[in-house]
Amino acid sequence: MDTDTFFLGNSPECCGTNGCNYKLYCPNTMKLQDIIKNDLRLTMNAIAGDKELATQIQMLLVNLKLLDPPANGDFGPVSAAAVKEFQTLMKCNEPDYLGPATAKELIETKPEELPPPGLKLGNDLASIIIKYMQSKGYQIFQGVGHYNIVYVEGMNADGSLNSDPPNCFNDRRFVIQILDGVPSIVGNWEATTEPGSRYTYNPMNPGGAARIKFGQYKAWQIGMHGNADRHEALVQTGGAITVHRDFNKDFKRGGDKLDTGYFAVNQHWGYDLPQNNVSVASAGCLVGRTREGHRQFMRLIKKDRRYQANKSYVFYTTVIAGDDLMKTQQQVLGTGSLTLLKEGSSGPLVKQLQKKLQEKGYNPGTIDGVFGLGTKSAVRAFQKANGLEADGVVGQKTWKALGLD
C-alpha cells in the first residue's frame, strides 16, 4: 500500500500516530462506489461504523445468498465472515480489508455468477449427503462453527437403509460440518421425522397428522418445548414449512393434501421411549429419541457461530428420504463422475449393494460395507445371470439391473 492510499478503520495506519503518512477519508456516510472512486481500504470495524454502507453490503450479500436477512446495518462477525467468504470465492486478494476490488465485485456480481464454494467430496456418508443437497440446490454451510442440520428418513447409524416401518425411531438426525471443503458428521442420533401411531390415529389437526414434506426449510430458533417435561429445543418460530396431511391414516405421504404454515413442528427429545414405539413423542415433530442425545444435539448447535452472534438466528434444516438419497447417489455414480464400486471400496453404498445382492439371492458374505472377495464373487454371479460382463465392478448397467438406477 503506497503513501497516497486512503485508509479508514481501527488500525495504526489510519490513526495519525506512529509516524503514519496515510491520509484519512472520513465522510459521515459512504457507499461502495466511493471506495472505488477514492481507492479506499476499509477494515471490518470501519464498515460497522457506517450504517448506510453496512446496509448496502449486507443487501448485496443477502442477494448472493452468502448472508441471511435482514440487511439492517448491524455489521458484526457474521456479516464480516460473509464478506471474507465472498472475497475468497471471487479471489479479491484483499485479505484484511474491503477495497476497490471487493467493492467492484460486490456491485457487479450476479447470483448465478458466484462460483460455488470448493468442496472435496468422496464416497463417505457425509459427502453423499452433501452431494445430494448440491443436486437439489439447497443451502450448504461451510466453515468452523457453521453447522448443517440434516434428517434422513429410513436410515441406520452406519448409513445403511432400513424398511422404515411406522411408529419407530428408525431415522437419523445428523449435524454436518465442512472444514476446508471436506464434510464430516459431527453429530449422529436416533430420530423420527414422522408422527407415531397415537397422533396418526388421533390427529391434532382435523385434516390429518403432519408429515413434513421432504426438502430444506429455514424455520427453527432456540426455544423451549413441552409443558410437563419442558426442555430446550429448536422451535418452529422462524418460518413456515410444508407438511403432508395424513387424512387417510395410512402412515404415508403419497396423495396427501399439502399444508404450509407454522405448525409447532419442533425439534425436541423423545422421552427415552423404546426404539419401536414413538407413541406420544411426535405428532409430526422432528424428534431425537433420547434425552441425552438431544442434549448433545442442542449443545452442539448452540456453538454455531451465527447463533453466538445473534441469539435470534433462524436455523436451516434439511429432511431427506433415505431411498431417494441413495438412488440419487447411484445416478451420480452412473454418470462416471465418481469412482464406481469395486474390490477395495467401502462405505454405506457398499452396504446397500450387499443388502440388494442378498435380497436377490446372491450371498456377499458379511454385510459390513467392505467390498471384499465375497462381494466381488456375488457381483460377478449376479452379472453373469443377468447377461452383463462379469467383471465384478459395479457400474451403471449393474446398478440398473439391481434396480438401483
pLDDT digits (tens, 9 = 90+) for 65-81: 888 888 999 999 889 98
The residues with which 187 forms a beta bridge, in sequence order, are 175
pLDDT exceeds cutoff 70 at 308: yes
Cα–Cα distances (Å) from 34 to 3, 42, 44, 100, in that order, read 19, 11, 16, 9
Q: Which domains does the chain have, with CATH numbers?
A: 6-113 (no CATH), 125-324 (no CATH), 339-402 (1.10.101.10)
pLDDT digits (tens, 9 = 90+) for 101-143: 999 999 999 988 888 778 888 888 999 999 999 999 899 998 8
Q: How far apart are CA 190 and CA 162, in angstroms?
A: 13
pLDDT exceeds cutoff 50 at 23: no
C-beta neighbour count of 207 within 10 angstroms: 14
| pLDDT interval class at 16 (50, 70, 90) | very low
Q: How far apart are CA 25 and CA 14, in angstroms?
A: 9
Q: Quick one: how far is CA 238 from the chain centroid?
A: 17
Q: How far apart are CA 135 and CA 94, in angstroms?
A: 32
SS3 193: coil
Angle, to 10 degrees, between the axis of helix 51-63 and the axis of helix 77-90?
60
- Phi/psi for 264 (5° steps) reads 55, 40
pLDDT exceeds cutoff 60 at 24: no
Residues 6+ apart with CB under 8 A from 357: 363, 364, 375, 378, 379, 382, 402
| pLDDT interval class at 21 (50, 70, 90) | very low
Rounded mean pLDDT, 295-313: 94
Q: Helices in 64-210 by DSSP H: which ranges?
A: 77-90, 100-108, 125-136, 197-201
Q: What is the pLDDT, as a whole number, of residue 405?
A: 61
Rounded mean pLDDT, 285-290: 98
Residues in the chain: 405
Q: In what order do the strands lie in the sheet with 209-212?
A: 209-212, 241-246, 257-261
* Chain position carrying cell 438401483: 404
- Pairing status of strand 6-8 against strand 40-42: parallel
Give the torsion sign (CA, 48, 53, 57, 59): positive
Q: What is the pLDDT, as a whole number, of residue 73?
A: 94
Residues 6+ apart with CB under 8 A from 337: none
Cα–Cα distances (Å) from 365 to 352, 353, 358, in that order, read 13, 12, 9
Q: Quick one: how far is CA 358 from the chain centroid?
A: 33
Q: How far apart are CA 170 and CA 283, in angstroms?
A: 16
User: Is residue 177 a contact partner of residue 299, using CB atoms and an 8 Å limit?
Assistant: no
User: Grid coordinates representing 235?
Assistant: 422451535
